[in-house]
Chain A
Amino acid sequence: MAVSKQTLAEIQAVAARYPSKQSAIIPALWAVQHEQGYVTDAAMREIAQALGLPPSLIEATASFYSMFLTKPEGRHDVVICVNAPCMLRGADEMKDYLERALGVRDGQTTPDGAVTWHSTIECLGACGGAPMMQVDHRFEENLTPERIDVIIDRLRKQPAAPLAPRHPLPGSPLKGEGEAHAKTAEPAKKPAGPRGRRSQA
């Protein structure tokens, strides 16, 4: 599917803010993923055209960064960290529990299309609330089997359209839409658990 005119205009507007239009490649990839859920070769060619750059440059950049998706996934994405600080707090057991609860393997999507999950060795920056997972780019910390059940139950019911603006663009005119999303999906609440403020109180 073609990238919308609005998104292409946004990409050009963002490019104008940088001293070099090439700097807008990552923001442009975010904008497309934010609109379509993933980034196709055809979309990369459109980005190239909008920025006046060769398509090879767009793909070279896109393929380097692990957060850009090249194929459609479930309505929600769940990433569970298994690096050492999380491992120390039982991340392996939570990962096994998540796998059993979802009934599909690491990297797969549930048959109802609700959740795509995978484990990662890349630290997500919530070691103080380990074990943790990232649900649609929001952190869920201090996981227990019970908490995982509640989260999965919510995700299975929640429609959260893949077109929801999950990835606001820097300085994006879509700011209003981003806020609407924050209200309908996971509220940007402070994660529970003894972190920063609480631990020094």
Chain B
Amino acid sequence: MAIKRVLTKDFATENLEQLSVYERTGGYSGYKKALEMQPDELVELVKKSGLRGRGGAGFPTGNKWSFLPKGVYPRYLVCNADESEPGCFKDRYLIEESPHQVLEGILIASYAIGCNLAFIYIRGEYLPQHEALETAIQEARQAGYLGKNVLDKGYDIEVILHRGAGAYICGEETALLTSLEGYRGEPRLKPPFPAIKGLYGKPTVVNNVETVANLPHIVNNGADWFTAMGTPTGRGTRVWCMSGHVNRPGNYELENGTPIRELIEEHGGGVWKNRKLKAFQPGGASMMVLLPEHLDVGLDFDAIAKAGSLAGAGAMVVMDETTCMVDAARRYVKFFHHESCGKCTPCREGTFWMANLFDAFEAGAAKASDIDLLLDIGYNIDGRSFCPLGDASTWFPRSVIKFFRDEFLEHLSEKGCPFKKTVQEAVA
């Protein structure tokens, strides 16, 4: 199967971040075409394309747009660039290489939903990417793509770039909106969903960077072109962020449904140092671990869900035979503990206790009953937390206990981490 690329096909072009270069690759033609259409036609087009949100949940973008109540204004578009899921670095890459592609997508989405003020919420750590977007916005304004009466079409649009300040939780859409309003980034109860009552209590659409970056291409090439790629329930391509024990970590845009084996073995050059694959984790820190027997599963929301994990935000963390799965789970649990906003008890307290138990395993101070205690804490967080962050904190550790219980037992019998020495030798 020939590799089809949509978002990254022009990324080899030098200075693509400059407006004139981006326009030479066909940039902003999608936006111009969109402005000739009626907003409702655009919503229908995106619905027909089957584009699903690339931020993690995979909700159909066109449907999300059509939930906005008729006749209620103002309404807002918020582009979620608060990429913080461990293992994910695609939004950063898309912004860095082609900030105008992201901005064009935002302008198209704004026009389609009838919004005159859009926001980009970018994580505080992405300073160079912030600067790239800031420059892109200024260039686009000078070219008349945003501002009052854009391209004489009578449409007004302004884009505010809003910088976060270090909080993973703000990637969750309601927490993001709370943060954008100036408060502590705590999630809100759904319903009401943001489409009904979002930013400042107004109808709001929150779309991921990669999602909006697809829009110029869908408008330019049509829904049929898009549906010809990928799988029936996962149209188009996705950018996968591969990290860990592979020869060539990095971002790879592949057609949905491409086997995981192809991503790891062909594009990533296989597991490094001629070692064996032990496990891999699609989706990022939150998602369940998968095993070598799952290598032929397709890179697609539904196929990965069927295999027992989730595609999430498109990470692929590869772990070789020397990896201590207990320590990997420990890092993620500590991450969730650090990032828990503290609003609800199961997540705030549960992640604390899980982190303590994982520390005990690594230090050789754990008891045999602690494995089941970890599972028990997990069951009491999952489904009982206020937002998905709490639930997700338990998925990876529980899947590790399911597939690698023997490693926990080894930590008990060895009174500490049996991998520590191997890992140190491996790096030296």
Contact = CB atoms under 8 A, between A and B. Distances in A.
Contacts of A67: 124-125, 165-166
A128 B319 contact: no
Given A30-B163, A89-B244, A125 B123 contact: yes
Contacts of B126: 125
Interface stretch (A109-117, A150-158, A192-200): A192-200
B427 A93 contact: yes
Contacts of B168: 122-123
Contacts of B241: 127-128
Contact of B134 (A83, A167, A170): A170
A97 to B, nearest CB: 10
Contacts of B166: 65-68, 122
Interface stretch (B50-58, B225-233, B333-341): B333-341
A121 interface: yes
Given A26-B182, A127-B315, A170-B134, A138 B127 contact: yes
A85 interface: yes
A144 to B, nearest CB: 10
B251 A85 contact: no
A3 interface: no
Interface residues of A, number: 63
B194 interface: no
Given A127-B86, A128-B242, A200 B250 contact: yes
Contacts of B323: 88
Interface stretch (B38-46, B64-72, B298-306, B324-332): B324-332
Interface of B: 5, 8, 11-12, 74, 83-89, 91-93, 96-97, 117, 123-128, 130-131, 134, 138, 160-168, 179-185, 200, 241-245, 248-253, 267, 285, 315, 317-319, 323, 327-328, 331-332, 334-335, 338-339, 341, 423-424, 426-428
9 contacts: A27-B163, A29-B165, A93-B427, A123-B84, A127-B243, A128-B249, A128-B250, A196-B97, A200-B252
Nearest first, the 7 A-B pairs at minimum CB distance are A199-B250, A127-B243, A65-B165, A123-B86, A22-B182, A67-B166, A66-B166
Interface of A: 17-20, 22-27, 29-30, 57, 60-61, 63-68, 82-85, 87-90, 92-93, 121-130, 134, 137-139, 166-168, 170-171, 175, 178, 182, 188, 190, 194-201
